Structure 1
Amino acid sequence: MKRGRLPRGGRPAVALEEIEAGIEAAWLAFLAAFEVVAGSPDETSLAETVLQDPSEFEWRVVDGALNRLACQECRSTLGAGRLGCHRCDQANGYRFAAREIDRPHVPPGNEHALRVASAVARTRHRYSPRARCGYELGLPSLLSGDLPTTAEAQALKAAINELSDAELDSVTSPADVVTRSPRQN
């Protein structure tokens, strides 16, 4: 599946495209700060340097670095390869060591939720169908600066858990999940 494409389409897919654009913009700004040319061997070296200590960098920069490197084991984009590829499994974890800098005018915790949701949506084959459904559907509201309450997140998770595997990729919104949930019928 091409990165940035979700089978459910609609608002989650648009939000993922915005996330991808934000990662690309953060990486290009990072390159410019170091006067490194995109596509050069220096870019590859800088990406490798970022991954030596991802906790020193903002998560979008770390994701941008991962996008520039190929896994030596499976030849996928580093961190995006099949589950069980040791290097990709390890690199996927690097993204969660990166710094989260809260955006202005969003509740604390939104940036963390946005990072997790985008990681799941960007490497969806690495996560369960239920995790994909919840995080992908949450992307649009997280991107706009919202953060569900614990009770709201738990209620959506409970409704998702009642859907069949066939329904999980076809729902297009949290309201759609609730409507299809056997609890509501």
Structure 2
Amino acid sequence: MRDISMAVDAMTLDAQIAARLRGLRQTQALSLVELAERSGVSKAMISKIERVESSPTATVLGRLAAGLGVPLAQLLAEDAPTPQRLRPQAAQEVWSDPGVGYLRRQVAPHDAQTGIELVEIVLPAGAQVRYPPWSGKPYRQRLWLVAGALQVDYGDERFDLATGDCLDFGVDRPLLFQVQGGADCRYLLVSSAA
């Protein structure tokens, strides 16, 4: 029964991603071709995502967000209209990358007033995720590694993180997150306006 519930949740989230992507693209008056050129994602793939015919990977979502100049969270969750004092785990959106098994839990959605959001990420052993530099308003991120070992390439800088380490970086350079060792990696990511 749990598998069916998770499948329904994934379908619902794919539909929400499709609507947000289409809405952001239309708000910026971008054609599919223009977004494809900006993001490096094919016109056909963007169209499939917008029609909920394909589940995007974390890398594809990152490229689309960068091409639109918005934080990745804006494709995955709505801004919180007002800060919530308590946000139960059951109310936190979870998205899974169909390619590498990356799990992303939106612990606290982007707050329009403060520009802060909180995300929990689990990367399976051996996984890697690449993101291009963002073209929009820059923002900062702080990553706190809760479990595992993680290599982060921030442009031409490389950081090897162990459990408990914290890394501060921006989204102005290409990023690569790569799990090291044979265990899954779990980290918390706090993003804020620069």
TM-score by length of 1: 0.30
Q: Which has the higher strand share?
A: 2
